[in-house]
Amino acid sequence: MNPNCNLRPYSSKVVDGVERAASRAMLHAVGFKRSDFSKPQVGIASTWSMVTPCNMHINKLAEAAGVGADQAGGKSVIFNTITISDGISMGTEGMKYSLVSREVIADSIETVAGCEGFDGLVAIGGCDKNMPGCLIALARLNRPSIFVYGGTILPGCHHGRDVDIVSVFEAVGRHARGEIGDRELAQIEKTAIPGEGSCGGMYTANTMASAIEALGMSLPNSSSRIAASADKEKECVAAGAAVLELIRKGIRPSDILTRKAFLNAITVVTALGGSTNAVLHLLAMAHAANVKLSIDDFTRIGKKTPVLADLKPSGKYVMADLAAIGGVAPLMKRLLAAGLLDGDCLTVTGKTLKQNLARVKGYPRGQDIIRPMNRPIKKDGHLVILRGNLAPEGAVAKITGKEGLYFKGTAIVFESEEEALKRILDGTVQSGHVVVIRTEGPRGGPGMREMLAPTSAIVGRGLGKDVALITDGRFSGGSHGFVIGHVTPEAVCGGPIAVVKDGDLIEIDAAKRAITLKVSKAELKRRLAAWTPPKPRRTRGVLVKYARQVASASLGAVTDL
């Protein structure tokens, strides 16, 4: 009997015994030596692609993780999954495939690992859907696993000032209002993205990487290392080796992905001022891990957790600045000391969160990226779950405090993102409007597009404090202003947002966590009774399959209920 059989519960079924000779023959052809068949097999899931700068370097990191696994006594096998680019497809029909890609990534990793019999996994992601997609797969498979974040991009520079992808979107709005010309817009476009790595602010990629670190599924400070750094490659080698330790100790994602760990993740996302997409993705990840989590948990955590990070899009700094002063780990240590994190949660190091943070140094004196607990940017959470007759199942607002807590205005209704963007840029949208973009939910889109183009155009036109935007779609982590997404039920399912009319009065009260269409109950009932579903926008293909399977955004837009 092979002495390592207990370390190979899956690969042994694929390669052991005379009857598996054909399987071994295939593996010889891809580089296996005879001795490799007695080693635990570690699948390295790479999201490499030249589609986007977020992922253009991931294969190099995958190779480093493979070296770490091999040196630690395993046999690494690198395989690929897809990625798409939100930043490139934003504002187009292509963006409808963004959230769909989360499911494709999860399904493809589960498919390959389940078929090939890997005993452990390292998943490496760059663009924002990669992170939850990878974690959903690791949770479903429940084999010893680690996630590695591909890392944040360095900021670009324009006229001595840091710029990034959101700077370009906002420059489009500035151009529309005549503040800058074609030449300067082109200069910002050329300088904003200097190389590899995910979008630099506390947008969705950096938010989800930080959440996964808080969950305990990545090595300490994975979320705040720069993509173009030697430290990121070293981390990948360490991650490959660490998976072998998890295999030896029998530690699986189900041991790490507990309810308390998810509450830790929500706390860290809140303190960082992270993306609204964290609500959608953490719900989906918890579902995959069989952990009960709801949108109300974000409200509960938000009531006691302050926003401490002055990071873009609403703040001044980018993730590279945070990395320079120590990353996310010192923030977590501060939250632990304040009693806001559960330090007993197990992590992929084999140690508890408290043990991991014990030797972490605090931030240097004089830094103003992370505020002290007694001087927060906002005393409570920025992710506000709103309910009311316009969103009976809830909606998600990102209220940093800079846009105020209350807005009341008249509705101007659009049936698509493109239609709304056109009217924002041509001046139809004016101060006092509540822009309503509907039929953009998970089923209605299909695909629940992010509304970065309209929100950036509003800010670029100088209307950030004077116009609100609500949608059954969602927002990029780069969106800021008075914006409310994930309105549920969505329009295509007959939610009240489907019957809002131009000129209706809408009241948004973040303090009361309420969003209200100011019409009578009788009038709302009459409108809903007269409503008929729109014809599907697609009749064939992956978007149709997605629309048939996807659940409400309030449940994480999962596809396997």
Strand positions, DSSP E, 433-495: 433-437, 468-471, 482-488
**End-to-end CA separation in angstroms for the chain:** 41
Whether the Cβ atoms of residue 439 and residue 492 lie closer than 8 Å to each other: yes
Q: Tell me the binding residues for [2Fe-2S] cluster.
A: 54
How many angstroms separate the CA atoms of 45 and 125, rounded?
9
Question: Residue 322 — φ and ψ, nearest 5°?
Answer: -65, -40
Residue 306: asked if its preceding bond is cis (omega within 30°), the reply is no
Distance in angstroms (rounded) separating the CA atoms of residues 316 and 166 = 13
Does residue 476 have an active-site annotation?
yes
Known binding-site residue numbers for Mg(2+) = 86, 128-129, 450
CA–CA dist 400, 377 (Å, integer): 8
Contact in structure between 63 and 79 (CB atoms under 8 Å): no
Asked whether the beta carbons of 30 and 138 are under 8 A apart, the reply is no
3-class DSSP assignment, residue 6: helix
Residue of 46, 167, 223, 476 marked catalytic: 476
Nearest to 332 by CA among 312, 353, 301, 348: 353
Q: Binding site: which residues?
A: 54, 86, 128-129, 450
User: What gap in Å lies between CA 224 and CA 513, rounded to an integer?
Assistant: 32
For 30-95, give the DSSP string.
TT--GGGGGSPEEEEEE---TT-TTTTTHHHHHHHHHHHHHHTT-EEEEEE-----HHHHTTSGGG
Question: What residues are annotated to the active site?
Answer: 476
